[in-house]
Amino acid sequence: MEARLDNKPCGGRYGDIVQSIGNTPLIELKRLSPKPGVRIWAKLESRNPTGSVKDRVARSMMQKAEEEGAIAPGQTILEPTSGNTGISLAMICRRKGYPLKVVMPDNVTPERTQLLEMYGAQIVYSDGSKGSNGAVELALEMAGAEPSYYMPYQYGNPANPLAHYNGTAPEILEELDEISAFVAGLGTGGTLMGNGRRLKEELGDSVKIVAAEPMQGEPVQGLRSLDDGFIPPIIDLSLLDRKIFVTNRDAIIWTRKLLDEEGVFAGVSSGAIASIAVRIASELDEGNIVFIVCDDGWKYLSSGIYTKPVDEVANLDSTVWW
């Protein structure tokens, strides 16, 4: 069935910034499609208030904690992060009046630190050589030593995938009646699990759920290899139809293609996901491919990935991106 392209002149009226999270645009990327019968759609999660899909997750986790009485007014929130989730939580905690302490690798891009500080978060640095896993380890130690902290823990919190099951997926289904494949990156697993489960329930096996995963040892920004020793508890691999590996070099190349050919200014994980979406599209004669643009590119400007030669930035393995 023909996709609906109704222009919505207003994004809605909301009581505060937290309520405005979601309802992001679904954009057709005509120049990236390898065949006329295959349509590629980008769900621009970069249009959320802090510029990333993690706004949905942070709101969902905090809302669940408040509804269940798990947090008290003014209680300190503690969360391991190396970027977007921490920034999203910082915005929401600032609005709701909760102090926030984030545990973050000491080798993140400076934009991350600046944004977290801007929203008033306190930062505790972990060993950057251990990546995001090191931040998780340290945060769990801190939570065990100080019971007054509340840790949403995105890696194991069911509210993470529920943000997509109840939000992102229904928004996609509102615009498209038929979807051949849904592509997202392997990070915490929330985006894949929540969207994948809802799309499968609504469309059955006609939709394939595809994960973009970095090759082991490849520092693809925003994604994680399941071979790095930590599989987030919320991930159910049986939900996936395919898992396709991507290199950091391809991720950077396709991030630039998104910008150069479609005007989409996205983070590098989105480039990795886009490369897999186009690969899936090349295998089909017709259908709709939907992929997630996880965040915008503002947090990555200092890395030079949009301006320097690809070979110069493709091996930035000392920087943590998510």
Per residue in 105-149, pLDDT tens? Answer: 888 888 989 999 999 999 999 998 887 778 889 999 999 999 999
CA nearest neighbour of 244 among 278, 202, 292, 286: 278
- Residue partners of 138: CB distance under 8 A and separation at least 6: 80, 103, 124, 126
DSSP for 271-293 reads HHHHHHHHHHHHT-SSEEEEEEE
- Residue partners of 23: CB distance under 8 A and separation at least 6: 11, 12, 171
Per-residue pLDDT averaged across 294-309, rounded?
A: 90
Q: State how far the Cα of 69 lies from the Cα of 148, in Å rounded to an integer.
A: 14
Per-residue pLDDT averaged across 243-250, rounded?
A: 88
- Has residue 322 got a pLDDT over 80? no
- Has residue 229 got a pLDDT over 70? no
Pair type for strands 38-44 and 26-28: antiparallel
Mean pLDDT of all residues belonging to the chain: 89
| Active-site annotation holder among 54, 101, 200, 208 | 54
Residue 299 bears catalytic tag = no
Radius of gyration of the chain measured on its C-alpha atoms: 19
| Active-site annotation holder among 269, 270, 275, 303 | 269
Each residue's pLDDT tens digit, 61-80: 999 999 999 999 999 999 99
User: Is residue 251 a contact partner of residue 276, using CB atoms and an 8 Å limit?
Assistant: no
**The CATH number of domain 26-48+158-313, selected from 2.40.440.10, 3.40.50.300, 3.40.50.1100, 3.20.19.10:** 3.40.50.1100
> What b/e string do you get for 77-87 counting C-beta neighbours within 10 Å, with b at 16 or more?
bbbbbbbbbbb
Number of H helices, E strands in the chain: 10, 9
Neighbours of 145 (CB within 10 A): 8
Indicate left, alpha or beta for 263 from its phi (over 0: left) and psi (-120 to 50: alpha).
left
What residues does each domain of the chain span?
26-48+158-313, 54-145
Each residue's pLDDT tens digit, 8-56: 666 788 999 999 999 999 999 999 999 999 999 999 999 999 999 999 9
Per-residue pLDDT averaged across 288-294, rounded?
A: 97
Residue 52 bears catalytic tag = no
pTM of the model: 0.91
Neighbours of 304 (CB within 10 A): 12
Domain 54-145 has what CATH class?
alpha beta
Identify the band that residue 4 occupies on the pLDDT scale cut at 50, 70 and 90: low
Burial (Cβ within 10 Å: 0-12, 13-18, ≥19) of residue 124 = middle
User: Is residue 121 a contact partner of residue 197, using CB atoms and an 8 Å limit?
Assistant: no
